[in-house]
Amino acid sequence: MDTQVIVAGAGPTGLTLAVDLGMRGIRCTLIEQKPAPQFLPKMERCNARSMEIYRRMGLADNIRAKGLPRDVPMDVFIVLKNVVEPPLLHKKYPSVAELKAQIASTHDGTLPLEPYQLISQYTLEPLLKAVAEMLPSVCVRYGHELLSFTQDVDSVTATVKDLAGKVSEISAAYLVGCDGGASVVRKQLGIKLAGNEDRMLQLRQSLHYCEGLLDKIPIGKGRHYHVADNHATQLIVQDSTKHFTLHSIVDSDADMVTMFRETIGMPLKFDTLYVGEWKQNLLLAERYGQGRVFMAGDAVHLVIPTGGLGMNSGVGDAIDLSWKLAGTLQGWGGSNLLASYEIERRHVGERNVEASRYATLGRRKWRSMWRPDIRDDTPEGAEARANLVRVADVEQRKSNELVGAELGYRYVGSPLIWPEPGEGPLHDFVEYVPTTWPGARLPHVWLDDGAAMQDRIGYDSGYTLLQLGRTQADVSALAKAFAAYSAPFRVLDIPDEDPRAVYGYDLLLLRPDLHVAWRGNRLPDNPERLAAMATGH
């Protein structure tokens, strides 16, 4: 075979998957139809979970260096007309620097190891591409379009066309379609997207370069400025602090330029770099793959950017699939390893579509309070403004405070996760309550020497049995059981008090992606069964 894994599509999902596979020593070929990454506006916020993942991959500092400066606040404003007049509502959200200080002094597992980071998709993609190109086992081919594929019991063959029109074939053990909302892979597999029951809006988006605007905004620096109008107008600060996107429902591209001028409300010089249309979607694929072909990212779930769960869900997919592909290709993974991908991630995809709907309905609720006389200097105008603010104060939070969705997701019904009796903690989109319920992400805790638990475990550590609170439990049988599958496994003894207190148990079995596979105070009666389950046998 030409390679072990073909990754089709170099958006954030495909790039993250290719980099993670490459770091695990898996040979992969990343094909992307575009000749190069494009400078087009899309996502701009990597959430805390994605940043924890990028930290494990050694990329977090690089991403922060290229993202929004660490001291810029992430505040959200609702304004009446423009960013000059006093805002109707100002919600404060901490800068990265402020959050880092908060995280450094928090020891109860409630905060993530890394705060969010604002970085525009057009900055993130070239960064990840450069990392992928440095990995010896990753072959990066831009200007290569996936036309179709065939698969049999042993392999997948992709038919690819380059920019000169030359058609060739690439064979591999697996193909992963990270090819976005119009996925060729999904269409060829005949897998449908379901959803869009709600009214979906069609908006225009423009990208502007306006030097010095952010510093001049008299109402304060922030991230989002929503205009309380009947056009759903929103101004978004991009990572350079000199680029801004505007979303609005208007009749023409030219209207976007007028709308930007009105929104900034100051006679500043600016360039318009792009204007385009985009449509909201809330869709989930019926399946996440078939046979040797998998899909990840927007190819299987499309959410409304409100809540910022699009790319972040794709990064989660990539990181769940990557170690399972590696474990299978390295020979220690059983058939349940790859089969669990769809079970684990489709469930999260479903929740994130719901979380995005929840955020969007909140946004729509306060926007529905708009009245034609809302800008009038009359008692009726004042009343309309007060009503909108009252609703927005509650409803806008639903877009910006989805920490429960971001950190609190867990893998339910997975064949790799040891089932505990009961339903498990309730899933809350807003509130995150640290838990080690099997399937959950390991909550972040600091160790006595100041290191983060995640860093102590390291990146390519395989399965880790955490021994906490100076337990004397005999765990040798589990090590033997993992060795029988030649699966990477080690015991990490952490005598510190905080982790034991937060995690609640003496023993935690962690998967390579730091999700909890099992917990207890002594090994289960049949450790062989636990090792078999966790490795997909």
Ligand X SMILES: Cc1cc2nc3c(=O)[nH]c(=O)nc-3n(C[C@H](O)[C@H](O)[C@H](O)COP(=O)(O)OP(=O)(O)OC[C@H]3O[C@@H](n4cnc5c(N)ncnc54)[C@H](O)[C@@H]3O)c2cc1C
Q: List residues near ligand X by CB under 6 A.
A: 8-14, 31-34, 42-45, 121, 145-146, 178-180, 184, 205, 278, 297-298, 305, 308-312, 314
What distance in Å separates the CA atoms of residue 402 and residue 174, rounded to the nearest whole number? 34
> Shortest Cβ distance from residue 176 to ligand X (Å)?
11
Q: Select 178 or 191, whichever has its Cβ closest to ligand X.
A: 178
- Mark residue 180 as left, alpha or beta (left: phi above 0; alpha: psi -120 to 50; beta: remaining): left
Q: Select 178 or 374, whichever has its Cβ closest to ligand X.
A: 178
> Shortest Cβ distance from residue 328 to ligand X (Å)?
22
> Shortest Cβ distance from residue 236 to ligand X (Å)?
8
Handedness of CA 164, 169, 170, 174 (dihedral sign): positive
Q: Angle at which helices 476-484 and 527-534 pack, to 10 degrees?
A: 50
> Shortest Cβ distance from residue 138 to ligand X (Å)?
16
Q: Select 12 or 527, whichever has its Cβ closest to ligand X.
A: 12
Q: Select 68 or 79, whichever has its Cβ closest to ligand X.
A: 68
Q: What is the DSSP letter of 320?
A: H
> Shortest Cβ distance from residue 112 to ligand X (Å)?
15
Q: Select 36 or 382, whichever has its Cβ closest to ligand X.
A: 36
The tokens for 361 are 């309905």
Contact 387, 365 (CB under 8 A): no
CB contact set of 276 (below 8 Å; sequence gap of 6+): 40, 204, 205, 206
Contact 466, 492 (CB under 8 A): yes
- Give the 3-state secondary structure percentages of the chain, helix then strand then coil, rounded to 5: 35, 25, 45
User: From start to end of 96-223, where are the E strands?
Assistant: 117-118, 138-142, 144-151, 156-162, 167-172, 174-177, 193-195, 202-209
> Shortest Cβ distance from residue 271 to ligand X (Å)?
19
For residue 353, which of 197, 188, 178 has the smallest C-alpha distance?
197
> Shortest Cβ distance from residue 128 to ligand X (Å)?
10
> Shortest Cβ distance from residue 109 to ligand X (Å)?
24
Q: Select 47 or 336, whichever has its Cβ closest to ligand X.
A: 47
What distance in Å separates the CA atoms of residue 387 and residue 391, rounded to the nearest whole number? 6
Q: Select 47 or 464, whichever has its Cβ closest to ligand X.
A: 47
Q: Select 18 or 478, whichever has its Cβ closest to ligand X.
A: 18
